[in-house]
Amino acid sequence: MTTLGMSEPARMVATEDPLWWRTAVIYQVYPRSFADADGDGVGDLRGIADRLESLAELGVDALWLCPFYTSPQTDGGYDVADYCDVDPVFGTLADFDDLLDRAHGLGLRVIIDIVPNHSSDQHAWFRAALAAAPGSPARDRYLFRDGTGSDGSAPPNNWQSTFGGQAWTQLPDGQWYFHMFDATQPDLNWRDPGVRSSFRQILRFWLHRGVDGFRVDVAHGMIKAEGMPDYHPQDLIGRFGVDPGVILTKEGPNPPYMLQDGVHDIWREWRAVLAEYGDDRVLCAEAWVEPLSHLARWVRPDEMHQAFNFSFLETPWDASSLRQVIDDSISAFGSVGAPSTWVLSNHDVVRHASRLGLVQQPAPGDGLGPRTASGLDPELGLRRAGAASLLMLALPGSAYLYQGEELGLPEVVDLPDDARRDPSWFRTGGVRYGRDGCRVPLPWEGTEPAFGFSRTGASWLPQPREWSALARDRQRGVAGSTLELYRSALALRREHGLGGGTVTWLPGYPPDVVALRNNGVTVLANTGSRAVERPGGRLLAGSGPGAPGVLAGDTTVWLLEE
């Protein structure tokens, strides 16, 4: 591992406002698929650095970089073999420093992904654990257990992997190790003080380099229930929403390998580490937890700053559900003094331009493919996506965008089976398509090889031919394009301070219309398919064409009283 303090800290973004994150629009970069400078078909840090100006022009405040650490890439880099170095496929630490410096020079903050729940099986810690004897301190960094049954040939308990199949793998010496995800991603033992102090050092390594914060992977899963008891979700299903003790995760209600109180001590420790570097560095939790009132525990004043609002992401395009989730979000986060966040897409879910064109939303991580996409209406999806994004960007709090949504990119549903890389595709024998369809490399210039993603035309996942028309250069400056919708919405959001206002619901609108006012801007989202009457006022932004006085179906507008 590289030692602390080798580099000079990077230039930081000059700001008077340490609370920048409360209102920020944060753009998620999935490095494999953003831009490829060296032409090998996999995106890299130099590719990102060279394209930063287009993000500044879009008007976002910050980037969140998905993992770029040394990794065998079995889970797109969420399998980290060295937390303090850059994988050669993405570049070098010097490339990272340059990217950070250039981003800061453009006024863009940079938060990076940290993956503490598990490492790669190629990490030196895990290799040492394999070489050491059962019961050794090296094994105690992970979750090794003896098997059950008379000869130990059955796994220690019945826990299943989030990616499908058993969550335990047996070694030749008979012991088993736990992995919530792929077998190449062994879970670390967060009850081990050595693991905890190593991660505090890892945080300092990146904070010293100048990062503005961390997005924390699986932030609800790091401590497992004492004794690792079997999981019987059927006893709890049906009690969610009735029994306040039942908390829902993506994996089911109250899994014993998640939601343990001990995780909160870790966040308090981390918060103190961040404070060593000033008061403007942030932690954002990936904690797929419902209800929102429970998720708020992750953002209490001495824990994390933000948590992704997956309840909002999972809400169908329906006015009453949207009003409810907006109210619940503002009140749940507000109850602990945190701003709400908003998000519609990321690298784990079906892109919202496709998701909102489906009758039934797929479960997170299932993806979309030829077998499951039959009911997809792409035009409807794109129209609703623009409307949903314009609604989201008018809400107070911080909004997360996923690369390519500003181009209206759809999920790619017809990837050839042999191109798929997501471990959940392999671990379920192709039952789940997984997440590759939202990770296809971005189109930049419509007539260039790989649409400008790489100069050689190489692309680790094939790009659909139709993406030529969605390339950034085809949309730039074109009125009515998704790119211009996002650009103008971000500029207006800043101008009218929408990230920092408050929501007032407006009465008197048809039930299908979400009608609110924030900082003097009237926001109307018509979730129905039929047009309704639109009140007077100057049209600031609209997600679709509309005649004066009319708000079309599946359309959002922002209006200013005259």
The answer to whether 75 is a known catalytic residue is: no
Q: Closest distance between ligand GLC and the C-beta of residue 470, in Å?
A: 24
Q: Of the residues 40, 146, 226, 276, which is catalytic? A: 276
Distance CA 33, CA 47 (A): 10
Which letter does DSSP use for residue 22 in this model?
A: G
Near ligand GLC in 232-291, by CB under 6 A: 286
126 binds ligand GLC (CB under 6 A): no
Residues 487-516 as x/- pattern, contact with ligand GLC by CB under 6 A: ------------------------------
Which residues lie below 8 Å from residue 529, measured CB to CB, with a gap of 6+? Answer: 553, 554
Structure tokens at 265: 């001590």
62-91 binders of ligand GLC (CB under 6 A) = 75, 78
Q: Which is nearer to ligand GLC, 286 or 406 (CB)?
A: 286
Our answer to whether residue 348 is catalytic in this structure is no
CB of 283 to ligand GLC, least distance (A): 15
121 is a site residue for ligand GLC (CB under 6 A): no
Site for ligand GLC in 167-206 (CB under 6 A): 181
- Count of Cβ atoms closer than 10 Å to residue 505 Cβ: 12
Closer by beta carbon to ligand GLC, 75 or else 554: 75
User: H helices then E strands: how many in the chain?
Assistant: 15, 23
Could you identify the residue written with the tokens 């792929």?
182
3-class DSSP state of 308:
coil
CB of 75 to ligand GLC, least distance (A): 5
Task: Decide whether 73 or 254 has the Cβ nearer to ligand GLC.
Answer: 73
The Cα–Cα gap between 61 and 486 comes to 13
Residue in 48, 55, 89, 218 binding ligand GLC, rule: CB under 6 A: 218
Closest to 83 (Cα-Cα) out of 128, 48, 113: 113
User: Measured from the CB of residue 67, what is the shortest distance to ligand GLC in angstroms?
Assistant: 8
State the minimum distance, in angstroms, from the CB of residue 79 to ligand GLC: 7
Provide the minimum distance between the beta carbon of 422 and ligand GLC in the complex, in angstroms, as a whole number: 8
Contacts of 372 (CB under 8 A, 6+ apart): 362, 366, 433
Residue nearest to ligand GLC (CB): 78
Phi/psi of residue 145, nearest 5 degrees: -145, 160
Identified binder of ligand GLC from the candidate list 115, 344, 401, 516, rule CB under 6 A: 115
Residue with tokens 């070694």: 171
Residue found by looking up tokens 């050794």 in the block: 136
User: Are 360 and 374 a contacting pair, CB within 8 Å?
Assistant: no
For ligand GLC, the closer of residues 139 and 215 by Cβ is 215
Strand partners, 111: 64, 213
CA quadruple 506, 509, 511, 517: dihedral sign: negative
Nearer to ligand GLC, 221 or 528 (CB): 221
CA distance 89 to 72: 10
The least distance separating ligand GLC from the CB of residue 435, rounded to whole angstroms, comes to: 7
Choose the catalytic residue: 95, 113, 217, 251. 217
Nearer to ligand GLC, 97 or 348 (CB): 348
| Residue type at position 273 | V
| Least distance CB 425 / ligand GLC (angstroms) | 12
Q: Contact, 493 vs 523, CB < 8 A?
A: no
Give the dihedral sign, CA 351/355/361/362: negative
Q: Which two tokens stand for residue 129?
A: 């654990």
**Taking Cα atoms as reference points, which of 216, 409, 244 lies closest to residue 308?**
216
DSSP 148: B
Q: Which is nearer to ligand GLC, 260 or 321 (CB)?
A: 260
Bond prior to 229 in cis (omega within 30° of 0) = no
Minimum CB separation of residue 181 from ligand GLC in Å reads 5
- Taking CB under 6 A as the rule, does residue 348 contact ligand GLC? yes
Binding map of ligand GLC across residues 90-109, x = CB under 6 A, - = no contact: --------------------
Residue 207 in 3-state DSSP? helix
- DSSP assignment, residue 356? T
- The answer to whether the beta carbons of residues 210 and 7 sit under 8 Å apart is no
Q: Which CB atom, from 78 or from 298, has the smaller least distance to ligand GLC?
A: 78
Beta bridge pairs of residue 14: none
Q: Which is nearer to ligand GLC, 36 or 286 (CB)?
A: 286
10 Å CB burial of residue 15 (0-12, 13-18, 19+) is exposed
217 touches ligand GLC (CB under 6 A): yes
Task: Answer yes or no whether residue 44 interacts with ligand GLC by CB under 6 A.
Answer: no
How many whole angstroms separate alpha carbon 524 and alpha carbon 213? 34
Min dist. Cβ of residue 342 to ligand GLC (A): 17
- Here the tokens at position 325 are 């989730």
Residue of 398, 38, 355 whose CA lies nearest to 212: 398
Nearer to ligand GLC by Cβ, of 297 and 347: the residue is: 347
Interface residues with ligand GLC (CB under 6 A) are: 75, 78, 115, 181, 217-218, 286, 347-348
Active site positions, annotated: 217, 276
